[in-house]
Amino acid sequence: MSVPGECLQRAYLYLERNYDSEPPYSDDALDQMFFEPAEVTARVGLAPTTAWRRGDPAPRHDRPPRRFSSWSYELPESSTRDTEEVVTALLDAIEPHAAGIAVARAELGLRAGVMVVIWLAGGRDRGDEVSFTTPALSFRERTVQRLAAMGLSLDHDLYVEVPE
């Protein structure tokens, strides 16, 4: 991302072990975070875009093995400032699998949510001050109801790139 003012967003459904601890995680907590992603896929009926098991190799060889299991389904990144647009597109894709998501959550002790990742490209004005425009982080009642009907939490990560 290098065009000042650009806003890229992506959203994904994630399922993870329902645990009560906070980082840094103990070995016992990490053991509780283990699950078989293939079991999630079988119940949800949707192939994940990303999944790994605790102990799988990390993507970078200089890193330790994965510390916990993960299962997620993601749509491609979109250039938009409308976060609700990204969330509703994901909901449209996963709602046909709502019953399977509920089964996976109940049978495997998982929690589920939607994560929205937002990348903003900032710039600098003539006084060398950082400048950027934020996206719309508002949701209509219907979108919130759709999330709630599936028992999904909603999380946002926001990153801003600013030229040196």
pLDDT band at residue 2 using 50, 70 and 90 as cut-offs: low
Task: Examine the pLDDT at 28 and tell me if it is beyond 70.
Answer: yes
Average pLDDT over the chain reads 91
**What per-residue confidence (pLDDT) applies to 41?**
98
Q: Supply the pTM of this predicted model.
A: 0.88
Q: Is 9 helix (H, G, I), strand (E, B) or coil?
A: strand
Name the percent of the chain lying above pLDDT 90: 65
**What per-residue confidence (pLDDT) applies to 122?**
79
Question: How does strand 110-121 pair with strand 153-161?
Answer: parallel
Could you tell me which of 140, 81, 71, 76 has the C-alpha nearest to residue 110?
Answer: 71
* Token digits of residue 122: 């900032």
> What sections of the chain are H helices per DSSP?
27-32, 37-44, 83-94, 98-108, 141-149
Q: Where are the domains of the chain?
A: 7-161
Task: Examine the pLDDT at 144 and tell me if it is beyond 70.
Answer: yes
Backbone phi, then psi, for 21, in 5-degree steps?
Answer: -95, 165
Q: Could you report the per-residue pLDDT of 65-88, keeping only the tens digit for each?
A: 888 899 999 999 999 999 999 999
Task: Examine the pLDDT at 117 and tell me if it is beyond 90.
Answer: yes
Report d(CA 97, CA 36) in Å as an integer. 19
Task: Examine the pLDDT at 1 and tell me if it is beyond 60.
Answer: no
